[in-house]
A and B are shown apart, each in its own frame.
Chain A
């Protein structure tokens, strides 16, 4: 390709990964990380919709304390509803959401690479995701549902007649899907960085994905074996967890949380990475404290392995252990706060552009702040005894998981959407969706803090009349939140098909993925990437002819653009 032709692709490329092959087979058997990422994005959002509907049914049931609300579930149905909501949300949506969907699309491009290290394993990961989610849902289709809560605590999970085996097997498979993604990312970041891209020239999103991958690889196998042992216990009664046969049910809790606490960081770390990118790009200011943010990701990943016992303060573990777990839990707050302060310092005196992704990013900081700080209430021994298993806990982790991860996912999707489809969304409608998500979310979960502190226990189908007003706020909020999310995706879908064309780098971002065309070529780049600091926005200059920002070196028509030594062959 001539240098002029390469330059022109920054405007509108003729062939790109979306049109270079057509037909369903070109998607189903693709090894292209971008296509796999898009399929993942569709998949996790289908899971989000399903689990979201379960949540709305739940909230409708809780409208009134005496069962006069719009939806009346039996107690058994209620149990199944919150279990499926939790299990699908955690295992099928949140865990793969940012890494497997956004990460898959962006990670190789941020490295200037053509693909992840193991493309077939990447595709296998997606099909395992489908199989695992299918198994989770088979629990419903089996006719018995699932009523253990997403935690599958023994001994109840051994005794119940519901589809625990389907669901745990599904979670087992989803675990492998997650391991494959993590393994792939670790290797890709290690061996496939562009020439001259040192570790400290990586965008912070990659540092957080790297830390996430470490957790995925180290923690998930433990969940795998735990779930297998639970299945063996349920089918053969091997007597390891089942007290009826001399087993220890608390051992299950230890195993489960050894995975599931680090899993919380699988959910939140990639979201923090997205926020680091958004905050910096939309205030057009070099990220403050790069190495602190980078190392805090690693610190969170490692500390996350040492705090699982804080879920078991009331399970009868020894006082000394409880004290130690509580203390280490507090230390996790330090790297988390390091990130928040660095984001705030980045915003300070930046030229802030309040476009949709930035609105989501700012919502994230606010909501994650509350979610994180209320975690300290629960990590402190004395308050936890009071708040344990109340709506306070529910509100806390929804502030982190939804206020954190979901908000960051939406922000990230808005940010990279023009890169993926080469079309721009309607910014005003996007901002309205963010406003709805933010208000709806707060209306849903803020009252739950109050309820929880006043003693409303979680997972109950009925409640005392004094809590009704809070439950009603919460139910209204849930519908607003749901509407906001639907609106966000409607805006995005419309943009993908009908939005105005945009150039390769409409937001003046500096990380390498913006040096490709929008949508990117099948091989990601048709030229040799120009190594640059991902947060040095001065390198990007506005090109009037192409109506987009282009890297200084690529923009000079006099200087020939170096074509890729291994050009694409189509």
Chain B
């Protein structure tokens, strides 16, 4: 931790080794130990922060296993798998960055940090493709869930239409685009006003943001390759059921006697959520019943929507942590360029590294829990 007290910077300037030791610590070792313990405790709070969502997931999966089976097919496991590999790779480069900082190799460290940041942005790019793809199909959280097979055709003449991508993706990419342009412009200005360090840093940030667009492109290619341009092949396992449900969706409330009866049953079952065992029993019965007379669309929508509520909460919170990680990594990148790390002072890289591994680890849990349900 840098010294923030003017008295002490003046004082510590006399010492060679005191530069980065805050005034209230006796030694570099004490400072490092404090930081290390602090970051570990922080990681514990992070795990507990996510725990609420994991509990919600567990409860819902226990109460409604069939919903999870039906819903997960909407998630593209190839995209998820690729993101897993990207994050694992970034963990490797992060570990290498820590190693180079420990050895005082600042240049090497900055390079590894840059790769880590690019991977992180690329992850977000892929995530943006995934999200926009789902929103196109009306896959939102529980209350807004309104699935319709096939894409919303982008309005002709718009940017989305000319690029052949989702309008949501354009909106999501707006901020990264501004950041990209901003970083490049600022970097050029930095170069002209002879601030080489700043200029170098901003080039790195531009490359980082570029990673997002790399992710978008790769994501789009993956979607095209794995889903063959149409969504139908992915949903195939439950397609007949789904399509039936969706096509009879309109005007469900004015349906005939038989359907209304089904509807009422669905409602009743919904209210008895607490009693798991009985519910399960009814569930199968209900489903079989539904197969015979056509499924109850309103019930079907609702439950799948809850899966996606949980999906968006968990992955969204995780994405926020990735963004936080990029900010922390950018700070380290700046300090690497300024050659701050020495064998006796590399704590911040170590601590952010631990945080980064935790963020990866959470994804390692999220990926199978959400994407690989059998």
Contact = CB atoms under 8 A, between A and B. Distances in A.
A232 B317 CA distance: 12
B303 interface: yes
Nearest to A227: B52
B39 to A, nearest CB: 10
A240 B274 contact: no
Interface stretch (A90-98, A215-223, A508-516): A215-223
A28 interface: no
B33 A191 contact: yes
Nearest 4 pairs of A and B residues by beta carbon: A239-B142, A237-B143, A225-B52, A238-B309
Interface string A205-231: 000000000000111111011101100
Nearest to B55: A255
Nearest to A183: B41
Contacts of A116: 24
B34 A218 contact: no
Given A114-B24, A569-B7, A225 B50 contact: yes
Given A245-B302, A246-B302, A570-B7, A191 B24 contact: no
Nearest to B11: A569
A119 interface: yes
B134 interface: no
Interface in B18-34: 22-26, 30, 33-34
Q: How large is the interface on A (under 10, 10 to 19, 20 to 34, 35 or more residues)?
A: 35 or more
Given A119-B22, A120-B4, A246-B303, A191 B45 contact: no
Contacts of A183: 38, 41-42, 45
A49 B51 CA distance: 36
A46 interface: no
Contacts of B56: 229, 240, 251
A232 B143 contact: no
B44 interface: yes
Given A114-B23, A232-B141, 12 more contacts: A117-B24, A179-B45, A183-B38, A188-B34, A191-B33, A220-B45, A236-B144, A245-B143, A245-B306, A246-B273, A247-B306, A570-B7
Interface in A514-570: 523, 566, 568-570
Nearest to B10: A569
Interface string A97-135: 000000000001000011111111000000000000000
B63 to A, nearest CB: 8
Contact of B24 (A113, A224, A239): A113
B5 interface: yes
Contact of B51 (A192, A222, A523, A568): A222
Contact of A240 (B7, B26, B41, B310): B310
Contacts, number: 137
Contact of A218 (B30, B48, B52, B271): B48
Given A31-B4, A232-B313, A246-B273, A222 B52 contact: yes
B188 to A, nearest CB: 33
B45 A217 contact: yes
B178 interface: no
A506 to B, nearest CB: 27
Interface in B313-340: 313, 317
B298 to A, nearest CB: 11
B305 interface: yes
B49 A186 contact: no
Interface in A250-268: 250-251, 255
A229 B57 CA distance: 13
B49 A248 contact: no
B146 to A, nearest CB: 13
7 contacts: A183-B42, A191-B37, A218-B45, A225-B317, A229-B56, A239-B143, A239-B309
Contacts of B305: 239, 245
A226 B44 contact: no
Contacts of A232: 141, 309, 313
Given A183-B42, A251-B56, A120 B1 contact: yes
A187 interface: yes
A119 to B, nearest CB: 7
B48 A190 contact: no
A245 B301 CA distance: 11
Interface centre among B1, B10, B23 (most CB of A within 10 A): B23
Contact of B313 (A31, A190, A222, A238): A238
B24 A119 contact: yes
Nearest to A241: B56
Given A221-B45, A225-B50, A245-B143, A187 B38 contact: yes
Contact of B274 (A31, A114, A179, A316): A316
Nearest to B4: A31
Interface in B43-81: 44-46, 48-53, 55-56, 59-60
